[in-house]
């Protein structure tokens, strides 16, 4: 039984490398939209963009994220022992020295913040916020990951923070649209909500689920699906508010955005669904094809004007 596993392994260097989860750095692709949106709104940025600072910024995001992963691995070890798969992770299986793991956690954060200061003060502030949110999510007594709904909301705030990181990597002094940040946050909630749903379904036992994750003491499949619908609706409503105000051409990408969200939902119903480990989603060809097509079309529409759209969607009733 996973819950009775004894930690007989000895700490190893590889164990400490693994808890930094470098394979999860692929999630930092969510930084790119922040860069691309700025470039589409401020065309002069193409000539002034400092690519060295962009690379330093990406390195900082990765290190801060890894710092959060380390503390997550350490503090989740007791509950991971009760999970049918996660009991074999480096910390619960004894491959990590806990004191050294705490040193690793702080060291990754410090190096990440030092690099962040090389980019800009607003960027460094964003990175500090990203790290603090990791603490709120993982560390008692706050530990928001144990609170239903707040677990999804607090974890997914990393999405708009990553967008802000990309935004500030460009050196812009502009303030990002709030509607876009909220939409990005709700998209993250949608993905995270489906991850929770897939986990809950796969465990298939309320008692074991609650032992593994405290928020599962309240969740049911129905409650999770209702919350996922809420997140999806919020994401698209705020995205619509953004495009009407800033870039109407993006309305043409709506069907592809909906297709990606629908395919992601479909994946969550599968046994051992890939949505439980998003870093492995590249193995899903259908989803990847939809994501690539959607991304290409959205980037194209950010930079190409379609005057006919503005005529079609022009107000037909005078506003008093």
Please identify, among 157, 173, 189, the residue that sits at the C-terminal boundary of a domain.
Answer: 173
The answer to whether residues 27 and 108 belong to one domain is yes
The answer to whether residues 23 and 162 belong to one domain is yes
From 237, 242, 249, 233, select the one nearest 177 (Cα to Cα). 242
The answer to whether residues 208 and 169 belong to one domain is no
Q: Dihedral, CA atoms, 262, 264, 270, 273, nearest 10 degrees?
A: -170
The overall average pLDDT reported for the chain is 92
Global pTM?
0.90
The answer to whether residues 17 and 153 belong to one domain is yes
Confirm whether 2 is domain-assigned: no
Mention every residue, 6+ apart, whose C-beta is less than 8 A from residue 279. 21, 23, 24, 26, 27
* DSSP of 115-164: HHHHH-HHHHHHHHHHHHHHHHHHSTTT-GGGSTTHHHHHHHTHHHHHHH
Confirm whether 4 is domain-assigned: no
Contact by Cβ (8 Å): 36, 299: yes
CA distance 44 to 33: 17
The answer to whether residues 317 and 199 belong to one domain is yes
pLDDT in tens, 147-198: 999 999 999 999 999 999 999 999 998 899 999 999 999 999 999 999 999 9
pLDDT of residue 8: 53
Domain that holds residue 162: 9-173
The answer to whether residues 107 and 222 belong to one domain is no
Under the banding of pLDDT at 50, 70 and 90, the label for residue 87 is: confident
Confirm whether 150 is domain-assigned: yes
Confirm whether 64 is domain-assigned: yes
Please identify, among 126, 154, 173, the residue that sits at the C-terminal boundary of a domain.
Answer: 173
The answer to whether residues 72 and 201 belong to one domain is no
pLDDT in tens, 200-254: 999 888 888 888 889 999 999 999 999 999 999 999 999 999 999 999 999 999 9
Mean pLDDT throughout 309-317? 91
pLDDT at 256 over 60: yes
Contact by Cβ (8 Å): 301, 241: no
For 282-301, b/e burial (b = at least 16 CB within 10 A) is: eebeebeebbeebbebbbeb
Q: Which two tokens stand for residue 16?
A: 């400490």
- Angle between helices 178-203 and 221-246 in degrees, nearest 10: 160
Count of domains observed in the chain = 2
């Amino acid at each position: 039984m996973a819950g009775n596993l004894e930690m007989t392994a000895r700490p190893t260097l590889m164990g400490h490398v693994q808890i930094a989860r470098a394979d999860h750095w692929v999630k930092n692709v969510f930084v790119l939209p922040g860069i691309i949106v700025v470039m589409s709104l401020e065309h002069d940025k193409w000539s002034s963009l400092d690519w060295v600072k962009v690379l330093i910024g990406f390195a900082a995001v990765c290190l801060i994220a890894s710092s959060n992963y380390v503390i997550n691995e350490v503090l989740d070890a007791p509950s991971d022992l009760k999970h049918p798969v996660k009991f074999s992770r480096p910390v619960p299986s004894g491959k990590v020295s806990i004191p050294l793991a705490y040193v690793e956690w702080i060291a990754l954060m410090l190096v990440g913040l030092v690099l962040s200061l090389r980019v800009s003060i607003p960027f460094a502030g964003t990175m500090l916020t990203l790290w603090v949110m990791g603490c709120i999510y993982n560390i008692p007594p706050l530990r928001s990951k144990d609170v239903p709904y707040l677990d999804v909301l607090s974890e997914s705030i990393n999405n708009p923070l990553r967008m802000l990181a990309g935004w500030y990597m460009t050196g812009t002094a502009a303030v990002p649209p709030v509607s876009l940040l909220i939409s990005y946050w709700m998209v993250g909630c949608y993905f995270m909500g489906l991850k929770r749903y897939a986990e809950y379904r796969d465990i298939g036992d309320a008692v074991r689920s609650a032992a593994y994750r405290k928020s599962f003491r309240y969740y049911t499949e129905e409650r999770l699906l209702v919350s996922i619908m809420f997140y999806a609706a919020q994401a698209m409503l705020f995205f619509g508010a953004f495009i009407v105000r800033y870039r109407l051409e993006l309305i043409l990408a709506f069907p592809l955005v909906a297709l990606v969200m629908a395919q992601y939902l479909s994946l969550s119903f599968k046994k051992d669904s890939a949505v439980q480990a998003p870093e492995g989603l590249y193995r899903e060809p259908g989803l990847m094809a939809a994501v690539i097509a959607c991304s290409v079309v959205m980037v194209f529409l950010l930079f190409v004007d379609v005057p006919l759209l503005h005529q079609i969607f022009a107000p037909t009733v005078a506003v008093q």
